[in-house]
Structure 1
């Protein structure tokens, strides 16, 4: 896996005051459901049944075909319902004949395992696959007849990286963070080197109190390997942190345990659950983009080869890439990368990360397969450093 990277050292955090756990629990209990990102963003304005002038003249035929499919859509993904909520809401506004969208929340690897298993039996109900596990996506996509060919008209309005790989599109560009419990730190970490300095100064305090993603899973391997590829010198810091760390297989679990104080901090944690927790926690939970390298993952979306609702799936791809859709993506707590989407309260953007750490400190992960030998060497080295 090759990663592009050079260096800039700008702080990527806003320090907030610590808060009592009682206040946090009260705040969380009082929160209504709403969308991700705290639900503060104003609801998007959607033009029903209309599309941009740069779309093909016969785009109405695709819409008619979608109407004939019955208004349903099935998605296999590793994306939380909180992130999906404003996207589904606005897609249904755009096309009112869409009445039912089913999206489960699977593990990163399970998205593809389940699809392949069902394809083998000839009964594969999924229309779309969505995941930000690059290694799993790349291994799935290298197999024949696993994706439907589609070229979205929105690609002409987006940067080149919007198509992560043939027929895999970036629904969002999601950074990974260092997340921490503010009541357990005298100073906020700003990066992996900074975290290493803090924990090595008092290893007894932080023994077993740091969490990282399990690198035996697709997502954990992707983000951890990408960081070390982009910053080879980081192994010096990791050798100080990992003996104090415990692996987890879910960012959502890590976020909850950091809030409760079971962990003081975690690194390479997805913003998808971290952003909403930061905004709801009353200051007890905070996050930073590592100033010594922030890994950014394209959350890939692609159409299955025999999608039961293929026309509807194409409409959905075009919508999530459009300005309207990217505003909904940002409202849901994922990071929009479309220039016209502005950072506002309750919405998050890729530009927000660039402003925090600088473009040169961002590690974008290409959708390429890492060899089994390289995977084993990395996992053995990483797991060999973990605290027992």
Structure 2
């Protein structure tokens, strides 16, 4: 090989190397560290990311499509429900056969338990600075949405002006309209729904009159359900007139398609939960996991979630609802549940059992 050929090959190799670096650098989002290109390239080589979640695929489809289109990484999307995702992670870890890369669930208490018990890892996302302080737990657990808890009602049976304006008014409303509402009130079953348990127990911690509400629902012969969708169908059909403590992000979408369905929020107190994301310990695709979490938290990813009906936890997202515009929509009383150890209070077995016993007693069952 002559000297000229060697020089040409060296130049070509250098050019290819420069092109590869440039291509990787182009993929790095603005404001990210320069070495983030290594995570992107490693994630692409892994080729897939496995998500264990409780979020309907339809609501996250835009997010999934945008992520795959941007990075060419396939998503193994497993909707296992809140309890299912939690139990699957634990059982797989016990068998040393971890499959999930990311766990993304609305059961904030179960997600925090996974972190406390060592099933997640610390990862400081470059997007962390764009989140509210309450939305990040020690760089291990991130809030990806902000979703209000509210009421849905049958508009043929109730009109907006008759609905209670505050939490206390709701209790009075249930007591004063027993005849009209008897056997036609719905709410979550905290024994069968992780989200339902979180919603009710959060109210019990923050509202001294929660048990008055529970008793009022019991006196009206409240029916309990394991899912928001189940309650929605009964309210649309008129079997139930009102459903209390329902996932408002779902409801805000439902009312667009169901003319006889309305959504309502108390102006003084509208608690809001978040779907929390963590990277699992021993994730088979750790770089793809990090990349997916970062994309979820980015302005682009948050916009995709908001367009899918899951309000953004960031204020700079203009698609759909964000934390600021959502607060305006619910009347100014938005109360996010902080991502901290406080969500674990009722994970204590004795407290959990006591809560469920008190719940049944309040309902008269």
Normalized against structure 1, the TM-score is what?
0.80
Q: Deviations over 1:317-343 (max 9, x none)?
A: 11111111111110111110211112x
Counterparts of 2:314 and 2:172, CA distance in 1: 36
How many Å apart are 1:80 and its aligned residue? 0.6
Is there any run of 5+ residues in structure 2 with no aligned partner, and where? 1-24
What is the 5 A alignment of 1:242-253?
A: 242-244=218-220, 245-253=222-230
What is the 5 A alignment of 1:116-135?
A: 116-135=90-109
Counterparts of 1:87 and 1:242, CA distance in 2: 40
How many Å apart are 1:191 and its aligned residue? 4.0
Counterparts of 1:228 and 1:247, CA distance in 2: 17
1:262 paired to 2:242? no
Q: In 1, are the aligned partners of 2:311 and 2:326 still within 8 Å (CA)?
A: no
How many Å apart are 1:124 and its aligned residue? 2.2
Q: Deviations over 1:72-98 (max 9, x none)?
A: 121111101111111112112321x22
CA pair 304-199 structure 1, distance change in 2 beyond 3 A: same
What is the 5 A alignment of 1:1-388?
A: 50-70=27-47, 72-95=48-71, 97-98=72-73, 100-144=74-118, 146-186=119-159, 187-216=162-191, 217-244=193-220, 245-282=222-259, 284-342=260-318, 347-357=320-330, 362-368=335-341, 369-370=344-345, 371-386=348-363, 388=365
CA RMSD of aligned residues (A): 2.1
User: What secondary structure does 1:178 align onto?
Assistant: strand
Is there any run of 5+ residues in structure 1 with no aligned partner, and where? 1-47
CA pair 377-366 structure 1, distance change in 2 beyond 3 A: farther
Counterparts of 1:138 and 1:219, CA distance in 2: 14
For 2:21, the equivalent position in structure 1 comes to none
Counterparts of 2:138 and 2:363, CA distance in 1: 33
Q: In 1, are the aligned partners of 2:27 and 2:40 still within 8 Å (CA)?
A: no
Counterparts of 1:306 and 1:356, CA distance in 2: 41
Counterparts of 1:62 and 1:239, CA distance in 2: 53
Segments ≥4 residues shifted beyond 4 Å? 357-361
Counterparts of 2:340 and 2:237, CA distance in 1: 35
Which shows bigger deviation, 124-133 or 102-111? 102-111
Q: Deviations over 1:165-199 (max 9, x none)?
A: 54111111111111111111142343443333333
Q: In 2, are the aligned partners of 1:174 and 1:297 still within 8 Å (CA)?
A: yes
User: What secondary structure does 2:144 align onto?
Assistant: strand
Which shows bigger deviation, 243-252 or 60-69? 243-252
Counterparts of 1:133 and 1:226, CA distance in 2: 12
How many Å apart are 1:364 and its aligned residue? 2.1
Which shows bigger deviation, 213-222 or 173-182? 213-222
Give the aligned length: 333
CA pair 367-103 structure 1, distance change in 2 beyond 3 A: farther
How many Å apart are 1:266 and its aligned residue? 1.0
Structure with the larger helix share: 2
| Bigger RCO (CA 8 Å, 6+ sep) | 1
Structure whose alpha-carbon radius of gyration is higher: 2
How many Å apart are 1:122 and its aligned residue? 2.0
Q: Deviations over 1:79-129 (max 9, x none)?
A: 01111111112112321x22x212222221111101111111222211110
